[in-house]
Structure 1
Amino acid sequence: MSNAPPTWELLLVPEGMKKISMEMDTKIPNAATFTVLKEDHTLGNILRMQLLKNPKVIFAGYKVPHPLEHQFILKIQTTPDTTPADVLQQEVANLIQENALTVRSMDPGDAPAAMHISARERRDF
């Protein structure tokens, strides 16, 4: 017998709740805090790294409040010519494109993309 919560509770956002919520920072200009439910360090770190590639991002960091809470808090500060929400949307779209390119490059049937990966590298996947 286990007192662990059902697995589906770790993945599904409860009805009436949003996957992502945003709160603008009142003390720091062009800064916002995003709370992302039912995700962990995997997505938090990927988003942080992708955001830091953008020259319009001054600061990007995340934390997981507690190991048993499946959520993370992402803080973003941008230059005055954009907003944290716009930058986050743009970088999520960029991550989706990068992921699609990676998946295509591993498909042996996709010759042009596969040409850039050696036979040894393909075996390692």
Structure 2
Amino acid sequence: MNAPNRYELYVLEEGEKPVEVSEDTKIPNAATIKIVKQDHTLANLVRSQLLNMPQVTFAGYKVALEQACTKLIGTMVTLENKFKREFTFRDVEGAVPEDPYGTGATAGTTWPGGRDYLDF
């Protein structure tokens, strides 16, 4: 499996800073704070505390886009597999009429080029 060792997710490497602050040059009194190797728990607590302060207008946090996209792709693959398993009519004869919607197409056909609806 390609997953890193669990301790690598939380243990700082040599020379790695736990917190990095960079001031925003376009917005006065604004900064981006990067907290390394922590999860939503700490980020959400800091965000909530900042929003309770009257001098703070906005506070938010974000996680790595790549990690979120990877998890989303995994979820979509799972959903696709469940959908195909649930709605495979080739395995069940007589489950639906040949043309249930009166479109002139038959059940189980594919688009031109051998692709199905999930390829678009």
Provide TM-score, normalisation by structure 1.
0.50
Could you list the runs of 4 or more consecutive aligned residues of structure 1 that deviate by over 4 angstroms after TM superposition? none
Partner of 2:38: 39
For structure 2, the residue ranges without an aligned partner over 5 or more in a row are 69-120
In the TM superposition, what is the alpha-carbon distance from 1:68 to its structure 2 partner?
3.5
Could you tell me which residue of structure 1 aligns to residue 8 of structure 2?
9
1:24 counterpart letter in structure 2: E
Q: TM-score, normalised by structure 2?
A: 0.52
| CA deviation string 1:64-114 (max 9, x = no partner) | 123649xxxxxxxxxxxxxxxxxxxxxxxxxxxxxxxxxxxxxxxxxxxxx
Task: Tell me, in whole angstroms, the C-alpha distance in 1 between the residues paired with 2:16 and 2:23.
Answer: 19
Counterpart Cα distance in 2 of 1:36 and 1:6:
20
Higher relative contact order (CA 8 A, sep 6+): 1
Distance 1:10 1:68 in 2: 13
Aligned residue pairs: how many? 68
Q: 1:21: Cα distance to partner?
A: 0.3
Structure with the larger strand share:
1
* Structure 1: tracts of 5 or more residues without a match: 70-125
Larger Rg: 2
- Asked if 1:59 is matched to 2:58, the reply is yes
Measured against aligned partners, the alpha-carbon deviations of 1:20-76 in whole angstroms (never above 9, x if no partner) come to 00100000000000111001211111111111001111111111123649xxxxxxx
Alignment RMSD (CA, Å):
1.6
Q: What is the aligned-residue identity percentage? A: 51
Task: Report the alpha carbon displacement of residue 3 of structure 1 after superposing the two structures with TM.
Answer: 2.1
